[in-house]
Amino acid sequence: MFARRPDPEDGAVVSITIDGAPFAARAGDTVAAALLAAGIAAFRTTPVSAAPRGPYCLMGTCFECTVEVDGQPNRRACMTRVAPGMRIATQMGAPRVAPRPS
Amino acid sequence: MTIDVAVVGAGPAGLAAATRCARLGLATSLFDDQAVPGGQIYRGITEAPALRVAQLGAEYARGAAQVDALRATTAAYVPDASVWSARGLPDATIELGVSTRVAGGAKTHMVRARAAILATGAQERPFPIPGWTLPGVMSVGGAQILLKTAGLVPQGRVVIAGSGPLLWLAAGQLMDAGATIDALVETVPRGRLREALAHAPAFLTSPYFRKGLDLARRVRRRTRVIEFVESLAAIGASRVEALRYTVDSKAHEIAVDHLLLHQGVVPGVELAGAAGCALHWNDLHACFEPAVDEWGGTTVASLFVAGDGAGIAGAQAAAARGALTALAVANALGRIDHRDRDREAAPLRRTLADAQRGRRFFDVLYRPADAFRIPQGDTLACRCEEVTAREVVDAARAGCAGPNQAKAWLRCGMGPCQGRYCAPTVTELIAQARGVPPAEVGTWRHRIPVKPLTLAELASIPSTAEADAAVIRE
């Protein structure tokens, strides 16, 4: 669990959803920071053994924090910033092929 | 259009290089994969609230001046730009593949420059211990980034383990920010300090000495320090629950909610490697790094590497190295002559020497012990493809000569991280099993794209008449 240190200069609230549930992130947060602030430790399970994984490096090199962002799978949560209305889904369960664009 | 200089990475080296190039009148573009400048050491420096900056300390605040200096120049700063390829062309210009995030996706284009400076920095060294993939286990640098960019502080029982100056710095920063650190578990082996003391004279007169001493005192006052730890294992089912460790062969266990790991950093060599730059093994640092001359020049014409990406020396050295490389580039492009280059380089070389004085002491003291670089048994070497140390060793004993063959046999290094978190481990595992030096075993053949690209991004590369002619049949 991570707690946010309150600061008078904190960014504005950005409303997103995480696995369908609403969450108040902060402007400037990465998706990884928002999920960790929401108390989520496991962002996905692995395609090899279905083992749970969470963010490790937070700088775009380890690829452990990949989640689905607005329908696009395998986005690095630590390299993506939150935006109003963003839909984030953790990647649990068996890997699946990316949805066909409509 | 061909620009004069493309700089990749907006950390201390890249900021200094781009600033100096632009000041010397070169048309310069700085590409960085983050949304804001600063690299990892100054991560979020332009956005962090004043209180947070003050709390993170003077070293962090230093980044703001470097960003301001860049902004005062004509250099184009391109954020959210992922550079996924670099290659030297026959006319000695450099072509970069750049993917820039735009609304609703990304746009990809090829950038042509008369010279390129790769300032891609470092990543934390892999820390392959049992359970290092469990949620709740994070790199110390990762926790520091969460603090710098979002003011997030780990709650509950936090243990920080490993070795190196950053371990102590981050412990202090996290406690200043309100974290309770249950223990700092240090993996520097017994007797190592005595070895490092041979390099003490330079260290004692370096700026690191006093700072390091103050920091260690401050941290020791506020948390338990467990020293001479010989093994570590993260225990847990769906997330980390405990840390098991041994001291003098005696086993101990502490309950944890967060385990933060760190044992130094290694250069990010993927882009330089993919461009064909020769890499060499640095035995003291136990990693591969690009072979560079005193200006950052590589074995590829017009391609330079500056900062920690050319070998680990820290942020202050990186800024000096970035500026030095800019001088060499300006000279190579005919902007300044040798005399001007050398005259302007003199004070930078003094800064560099100052920044490097005393580092050998750290390098020897904090070289990770074999047990923490070369895992055994079921410990995962490759996190992505879940390849164990035993599998790599068995492959080597069965005749697998090196990392490239290990990919085909085991898939290690073939997952999404493209081998970034298993490269040094796989090299050293094979070297040990074969009884040959790591230099002989080598590392992966780095391939483009070194960053992930969607097919849509690839397809958005503007076509050329030449490329069309190659595939269109009348």
Q: Is residue A5 part of a domain?
A: no
pLDDT of A102 above 80: no
| Average pLDDT, rounded, for chain B | 95
Q: Is residue A98 part of a domain?
A: no
Contacts of B134 in chain A (CB under 8 A): 52
pLDDT reported for residue B229: 98
Residue B427, both tokens: 């090299």
pLDDT reported for residue A101: 64
Give the domain ranges of chain B.
Answer: 2-123+266-336, 126-263, 374-441
Strand B229-236 to strand B122-124: parallel, antiparallel, or no bridges (unpaired)? Answer: unpaired
Average pLDDT over residues A8-15: 88
Minimal Cβ distance to A41: which of B44, B135, B178:
B135
In angstroms, the separation between the Cα of residue A79 and the nearest Cα of chain B is 7
Predicted model pTM = 0.96
Report residue A96's pLDDT band, with 50, 70 and 90 as the boundaries. Answer: low
Minimal Cβ distance to B149: which of A7, A28, A53:
A28
pLDDT reported for residue B454: 87
pLDDT reported for residue A98: 61
The architecture in CATH of the region B374-441 reads Orthogonal Bundle (1.10)
Ranges of residues in chain B whose predicted pLDDT is under 70: 474
Separation between Cα atoms, residue A42 and residue A36, nearest integer Å: 9
pLDDT reported for residue B460: 87
pLDDT reported for residue A97: 59
> CATH number of the domain that A20 lies in?
3.10.20.440
Separation between Cα atoms, residue B332 and residue B344, nearest integer Å: 15
Q: Is residue A6 part of a domain?
A: no
pLDDT of A94 above 70: no
Interface predicted TM-score (ipTM) of this complex, two decimals = 0.95
Interface of B with A in 109-168 (CB under 8 A): 123-124, 133-139, 141-143, 145-146, 149-156
pLDDT of A1 above 80: yes
In angstroms, the separation between the Cα of residue B142 and the nearest Cα of chain A is 5
Separation between Cα atoms, residue B11 and residue B27, nearest integer Å: 19
Contact B125, B423 (CB under 8 A): no
The CATH code that applies to domain B2-123+266-336 is 3.50.50.60
Q: Is residue A19 part of a domain?
A: yes
What's the structural domain count of chain A? 1
Model confidence over B158-178: pLDDT tens digits? 999 999 999 999 999 999 999
Separation between Cα atoms, residue B253 and residue B468, nearest integer Å: 64
pLDDT reported for residue B131: 98
Range of the domain at A49: 13-89
Model confidence over B9-44: pLDDT tens digits? 999 999 999 999 999 999 999 999 999 999 999 999
Residue A14, both tokens: 């950005």
Q: Is residue A101 part of a domain?
A: no
Contact B291, B104 (CB under 8 A): no
**Domains B2-123+266-336 and B126-263 alike in fold:** yes
pLDDT reported for residue B473: 75
Tell me the CATH class for B126-263.
alpha beta
Residue B338, both tokens: 């040798």
Spacing of C-alpha A53 from chain mean position: 12
- Our CA angle for B291, B368, B363, nearest 5°, is 55
Strand B137-139 to strand B258-263: parallel, antiparallel, or no bridges (unpaired)? Answer: parallel
Separation between Cα atoms, residue B267 and residue B121, nearest integer Å: 6
Separation between Cα atoms, residue B38 and residue A77, nearest integer Å: 19
